[in-house]
Amino acid sequence: MPAPLDAALADVRNRLGSSILARVAGPSPRPPAGLLADDTVRRFPAGSPITTVHGDASMFVGGLSALLLQALHPLAMAGVAEHSDFRTDPWGRLARTSHFLALTTFGTVDEAAAAVDAVRAVHRRVRGVAPDGRRYSASDPHLVEWIHVAEMASFLAAQRRYGWCRLSPSDEDVYVAQAGEIARELGARDVPTTVAELGAALEAFRPELVGTRAARDVARYLLFEPPLPLPARAAYAPIAAAAVALLPRWARWPLRLPWLPVTEATVVRAAGEAITRTIRWSLTGPR
């Protein structure tokens, strides 16, 4: 490739990557020290399944799908509605979530522990009464487990469909077990350690899941009213469509989302693959 063209492409990639990082990780993202440290001090070694999944562009799709799925639990949704700054500062909330994942996945043992302690302190302040009259607390081990199960199911589904490499079945089990360590430290008790246990846990939660008005409002906001300038919405649209396509079929109607198997298997999948490749290229260069 001619040097001027190569330089121009590198400039485009750097600009796009910086723009994405500014949205997801804040205006001045700082990598955890563990990203630069020797593998022996990291919480999880480089190349382990959890770093493969959480370090890939497929997380953009999986993260949005997880938010939609999590909204189906009325007690979790009550905590978001009453205590979250999601509508007034959605990118700040996303940046904090991304930073937590970065610290607990790629950081040192001390960095991961500090991140967990910070989240647990926030959880202790998030409590109240849901619209149905039930009390809730973000520190409730059962709710912590739900958030974890919804995330792991969504992240793994995104990795399988849009990840740059496929994990073997045994590596997928390792991923679930590694992620479960963080969930237990956050206060969850019944944490899946294999893919089979993850599927069983998701099924066990189904009787508790309801498509409340608040959940549908969040879904509509995330999918159709994102706080983005018009040019950016063109890139967001395939991410949103791909995130919906990852949801279990039973999760669609409660959120008033369609199930279009042919379209999702063709148009949506192709668009999802294109946008994740573009994001991956912009952040790391082509693999």
pLDDT per position as a tens digit, 31-44: 454 454 455 578 89
Separation CA 143–CA 149 (nearest Å)? 10
> Predicted confidence band at 94 (pLDDT cuts at 50, 70, 90)?
low
Beta-bridge partner residues of 42 = 108
Separation CA 139–CA 69 (nearest Å)? 19
Q: For residue 40, which phi and psi values (nearest 5 degrees)?
A: -65, -20
Does residue 284 carry a pLDDT above 80? no
**What per-residue confidence (pLDDT) applies to 176?**
98
Cα four-point dihedral sign 212, 23, 64, 33: negative
Q: What is the mean pLDDT of the chain?
A: 84
Identify whether the C-beta of residue 142 lies closer than 8 Å to the C-beta of residue 208: no
Separation CA 203–CA 197 (nearest Å)? 10
Identify whether the C-beta of residue 129 lies closer than 8 Å to the C-beta of residue 34: no
Per residue in 171-223, pLDDT (tens digit) is: 999 999 999 999 999 999 999 999 999 999 999 999 999 999 989 988 998 88
Which pair of tokens denotes residue 178? Answer: 């590694």
**What per-residue confidence (pLDDT) applies to 93?**
62
Separation CA 160–CA 137 (nearest Å)? 33
Separation CA 71–CA 77 (nearest Å)? 5
* H-run or E-run covering 119: helix 109-125
> Predicted confidence band at 154 (pLDDT cuts at 50, 70, 90)?
very high
**What per-residue confidence (pLDDT) applies to 26?**
45
**What per-residue confidence (pLDDT) applies to 173?**
98
Does residue 9 carry a pLDDT above 60? no
Mean pLDDT of 254-273: 92
Per residue in 46-81, pLDDT (tens digit) is: 999 999 999 999 998 999 999 999 999 999 998 887
Locus of tokens 């899941």 = 209
Residue 257, CB-side half-sphere exposure with 13 Å CA sphere: 32
Does residue 110 carry a pLDDT above 90? yes
Residue 21, CB-side half-sphere exposure with 13 Å CA sphere: 17
Beta-bridge partner residues of 108 = 42
Mean pLDDT of 99-127: 93
